[in-house]
Structure 1
Amino acid sequence: MMSTTPSKTTRSVIIALILLACFIFYFFYITQPDLKYSTMNFFKCPDAQGQINNISTKTCLSVLKMQNLTCTMNITVDKPLMTTSASKPLTTAKEEEPETILLIWMWPFGVGFSLGPCSSAFNIHGCRLTDDRNLFNQAHGVMFHHRDISRDLSNMPKLPRPAFQKWVWWNMESPSNSDSNPLLKDLFNLTSSYRRDSDIPVPYGLLLEATEKEKNYTIPKKDKLVCWVVSNYSPNYKRSQYFTELVKYIDVDAHGRHFNKPINNDDYLNLMISCKFYLSFENSIHRDYMTEKLFTPLAFGTVPVVIGPPRENYEQFIPSEAFIHVDDFPSPKELADHLKLMDQNEDLYKQYFTWRKHFVSKGASFGLENACRICDHIKRNKHYRVFKDINSWYWG
């Protein structure tokens, strides 16, 4: 009769397998310290039917007892596993990237602006704006307003510039209204202005996609034909010369200090809304130089009549049917005749608003928007950058 007692060889094999299982478990446990589990069995073996089942603690102990060995198959973990430093829990989360600091070295024309969070205004995150010069050595970028830089650079930083730090030249005035300075050569890393070829372009305004509600646009009621508000008046400006000729053929409701009719912001907007056409005449003519004189009338339901760069340049910013360019007419008299015709034909006048089915006009937040977009650019572009000769680029 065959004995049912396991042979010595079989017992040795079983013990070896159990020890191997314990070793594998121990190795797996110490090399996976971030696992969190409770009363979990890791070792499994096939039963008589070939199904995978947990090896019980009782089986483990009964087998190893023969060799005076012990094995704990169930381990309970109640607290987070710790790193080698017993004071800090282990974490695999990526550390939060530090904020990018932008230092506004000088306020534009000495007038400060709100340093509100860029996240809520422009959906730009991870930026910190400050005017605290004590943070100079920590700042990733420093913002300088061109018109406020002293001719001899005496109001520029005296400390050496940190290697990682970007100096940003910022100017929203046209070359005609800004003096060049030979000392600025090789001084800056980045540029920010209204020009599209700036490193950080910030135009005076732009058109955005309209919401469903904004697409249902109604033109405001009008009781005036042509309006203009101007304070900076010079007989040498093209706009002044054109205006002098235009008023010979059409009435213009003109306001501003030059006409001894100063106007506040509220009255300015009310006047613009009440006019069918507004003279959006720039004080100087340069590529991409289209100021709030263009985008404010568009936003408030008035057709801008523009003097500025060529029509082709305007059409890179706004639809061709959204404005009237004085260059479209041989003389101010032909322009005046066209405006009078639009006054008499409502259907023709409405064609200047077809773009409102798709877009809305938005003006830039002067200062804050520049700062936020500069900070965002520096955050996303950490490579070396230098601007060799700003004078030839801007005034050349």
Structure 2
Amino acid sequence: MENQSKQKNRFQTLLEILFASTKLGLTSFGGPVAHLAYFKDEYIDRRKWLDDKTYTDIIALCQFLPGPASSQVGIAIGMLRGGLLGGVISWIGFTVPSIIVLVIFAMLYQTFSLGDAGFIHSLKIVAAAVVLHALIGLGKKLTPDKTRLAIAIVAAAVMLIYPSAWVQILIIIVAGLLGLKLFKNKAESNVKPFSVNISKKTGFISLGILVVSLIALPIITKFTNNPLLNIFDIFFRVGSLVFGGGHVVLPMIEREIVPQGLMTADEFLAGYGMAQAVPGPLFTFSSYLGTMMEGISGAVVATIGIFLPSFLLIVAALPFLNELRKRSSFQGILMGVNASVVGILLAAFYNPVIKSSIFDASDFALGIILFALLNIWKLPAWLIVILGVLGGYLISFIT
């Protein structure tokens, strides 16, 4: 009877996690910062699953890790509430609604040849406005001094001259080493302790899986030439290496997909623009890309590939968070990496975003208006998408 009671309670807990996270997945518009506010309202203020201090520490952890910060926070809360399975269920609830919308959009794009539709070009202009807004926000936060700004500018210049995925990875590594040398004296000294019931052994195993996968997947992909395995390799690598949140995933994935002919720049940007209109994490953009490349199976593989590193990194990092966050060298490395992220995004803003979206004065005018509404009047991204499409049709009607 006691075991049955425990199983019933566990099932109820998991069901509660699924209900709460799905509610957030259907309503959380506005990007990572807004997601964290929604999480606080639902998980901390309403349900009292965590206190404010623990929640703040989880956010701090996820800011230190590559991958989608808001999704990682949701996964971590799910793990603390319902174990590893709770983390998986929390992720499912938060991401599946936007996955469904983006997969349907990709299927409609292919079925009805939407590439020539007027609203598709408007979505590309929306993407330009959103990326510029993200670039300015990240620049203010991650390059507050001349040294970090210089790293960002050099990173942008190198990426523009040598646009490849491997050059991008090299830039991140070099920036991290520069950060270790230049910024460790700027590290925060007053770091709050953090505790969690995940063993260091489990953390090592999780990290080992991540590292082995990063090494083995490219080798296996090269010899098997399987398209689904190739997709998984691309998105797993991106999910493991992208610092700076959802918008930074744009240049990294683009370098892996468009130059290889897996998708055109127009198709890529149309999906990115559409991803702004849905709730949930921007990393579900991968679901659209996977569908465009290999249908539903591609969507499943791409989505799992880009989010799996988040699970592995959280499980690996939680037991060691106290030691890592106290180390000035670790904080310095991240300062350098984050500065390079701004430069990488700046390069992507030119190519492919501007080159594929702004063709004439009317495009530029619409882009300026959308950017102003987003950056100055603080309208939500989903509303910017609607206004962008309406504005595009209005301009085409007038001209």
Q: TM-score range by the shorter chain?
A: under 0.3
Structure with a larger share of its residues in strand: 1
Bigger Rg, structure 1 or 2: 1
Higher relative contact order (CA 8 A, sep 6+): 2
Structure with a larger share of its residues in helix: 2
TM-score normalised by structure 2 residue count: 0.22
